[in-house]
Amino acid sequence: MSLINDDLQDLLIAYCEPESELLQQIDRETNLKVLMPRMISGHYQGRVLSMLSKMLSPKRILEIGTFTGYATLCLAEGLTKDGLLYTLDINVELEDMVRGNFAKSVYNDQIHYILGDATKTIAGLNEVFDIVFIDADKKNNGTYYDMIFDRVRPGGIIIVDNVLWSGKVLQEKQDKDTRNITSFNDKIAGDERVEKLILPVRDGLFVIRKKI
């Protein structure tokens, strides 16, 4: 999942803010108990998400794809005192773990954890968002982007994970999943309503700013 070698990754982590005890616990428990634990954002990407959130001081955040709640709590670090974070997921098997993780956090009362098909639950949210983080089923990246775009304030940002897809986006012959990623990346590259750049963080973060 990481595009850089382990030694450089260790250096980057050494020079960024430490994980909280709770985030360390979530990372450890995810790796011990959950299938596909590599889906967790982890220390360095978590600090990137936290930094972006703190720079915007958002009142409203939407996360599509909760997993075990690690990235959720990183994004919540930037919320204003009256801010809210909505996080959407479809995996009911992780519900007890996720709710338990949130309950241990100072942000618990600011987080709304909603289970169900995101293409349906998004429609029920009557909010304008400062930050949207898309990290769910990759084939629907474009669908989620289109659904939330008008709900993002001018100057707000949309962050999309896994857009470099372990470097497979460089391959001439691409499998279906990689073609979906490339198609989404091309869609964003051609969208004149936004400013955009890909950060080579972990598996690639597309940071997309809605023009004012």
pLDDT in tens, 42-72: 999 999 999 999 999 999 999 999 999 999 9
Q: Is the pLDDT of residue 3 over 80?
A: no
Contact status, residue 78 vs residue 27, Cβ threshold 8 Å: no
| Assigned architecture for domain 6-210 | 3-Layer(aba) Sandwich (3.40)
> DSSP secondary-structure letter at 66?
-
* CA 46/CA 54 separation, integer angstroms: 12
- This prediction has a pTM of 0.96
Using one digit for the tens of pLDDT, what is the confidence trace for 68-120? 999 999 999 999 999 999 999 999 999 999 999 999 999 999 999 999 999 99
Q: Check residue 1 and give its pLDDT.
A: 60
* CA 163/CA 86 separation, integer angstroms: 22
Q: Check residue 106 and give its pLDDT.
A: 98
Q: Is the pLDDT of residue 4 over 90?
A: no
Using one digit for the tens of pLDDT, what is the confidence trace for 127-150? 999 999 999 999 999 999 999 999
